[in-house]
Structure 1
């Protein structure tokens, strides 16, 4: 009887919290109230999504430093302008897909491919990062915060991790007709060696793989793994 009273007293509170989160919008509610609708897994997922965004921002800045000519392709635009276009302002939710007229409306994997298209005369860094960012956002259902009723696709997360690896391989190996890389990354000089891009990409892959295994464990679903050889480096769909 005591168990029944406890259940009947807690369950309406649970429903009330879920209703508030659904009707009022999670982002507009005080953080302590929002946290009532989270499990431990949700908190872990929040941390991983935040970390991935920070890595993408670091990558964007480094790519523009190594490829300053790309930023100059668009008149009167700064690095900070590009950062706001892709990542929004601090604290701003990233709910809308990344679609830009200057990329011909291409986004996700199509935008990544555009950055390696020799006929493309625009900002290749912008195309690459927009594509990479949108692909990862899709793997998170365009969410930055997760709650009890939210669900992610472990296969989409796994596929996105493999796509980062494909992107990195192309970044390091794809050349234009003059034999030059489309975008510069790591630097190997006589006096200085910079392999910091490797570190960023390794962390990005690790975050996506970790998310995939967390979601698979939570949902008790399996991941279909893909064996890649260099010759098989093609982008995988994000379900």
Structure 2
């Protein structure tokens, strides 16, 4: 139990490199994970990977944004945003705002600063908040399926706002998807769709986990089975 509590306590702040790859070697900590804990951990890792790919794409299409960070180059800016997400530390431009409050502000006309970094941070912060403030999950942790479901719907709304929100001059706040005579680029919508799909799957897994607990108990009553005590 002491080992579980130790692992659980360390799950919030992760090594930044842990989310660069979609594959990872087995660790002793997996002994303290249920199947749904493992699904949640892998889902979070892959969703953050998707978010970092979206950040790279947005900075490529909107180079003026990373220049506002004052960090010298795009790679340094991306590392700073990634670290901010995984340490739960909002960038100065958000003035302490987190998750959905930060998301609304990052897509508002009043925001000044690196909008890409603020937008990506806000989504990352929202994902971590919806999962109980963690990025890895163990036996002692619990995740609310409703919050995960709500996060998926928020991603859908953010995707739509990213594509439609414009400044006072009628220009997009950020360039993302493109359908024009010059070509078609829907990679942003595709990547956001992957995040939504993973969140919806996890919420279904969590719902089923708790539903099965109730069903198993009902079976024990129906068939007059005594419950095990050891």
Please report the TM-score for the alignment, with normalisation by the length of structure 2.
Answer: 0.78
Match of 1:218 in 2: 209
Provide closer, same or farther for how the CA distance between residues 176 and 23 of structure 1 changes in structure 2, counting only shifts above 3 A: closer
Cα deviations by residue, 1:145-196 (Å, 9 ceiling, x for unpaired): 2112211010110000000011111111111111111111012232421111
Structure 2: unaligned runs, 5 residues or longer? 15-24, 213-230
Which of the pair has the greater relative contact order for Cα pairs under 8 Å at 6+ separation?
A: 2
Match of 2:77 in 1: 82
Matching residue of 2:188: 197
Which residue number corresponds to residue 53 of structure 2? 58
* SS of equivalent residue, structure 1 residue 193: strand
- Cα distance in 2, alignment partners of residues 139 and 199 from structure 1: 22
TM-score by length of 1: 0.75
Q: Secondary structure of 1:216's match?
A: helix
Q: Secondary structure in 2 aligned to 1:220? A: helix
Gaps of 5+ in 1: 1-17, 222-239
1-structure distance, mates of 2:183, 2:89: 36
Aligned to 1:177: 168
Distance 2:10 2:166 in 1: 45
Which of residues 152, 159, 184 is equivalent to 2:150? 159
Q: Quickly say closer, same or farther: Cα 1:131–1:23, change in 2 above 3 A.
A: closer
Does structure 2 retain, via aligned residues, the 8 Å contact 1:98–1:130?
Answer: no
The secondary structure found in structure 2 opposite 1:188 is strand
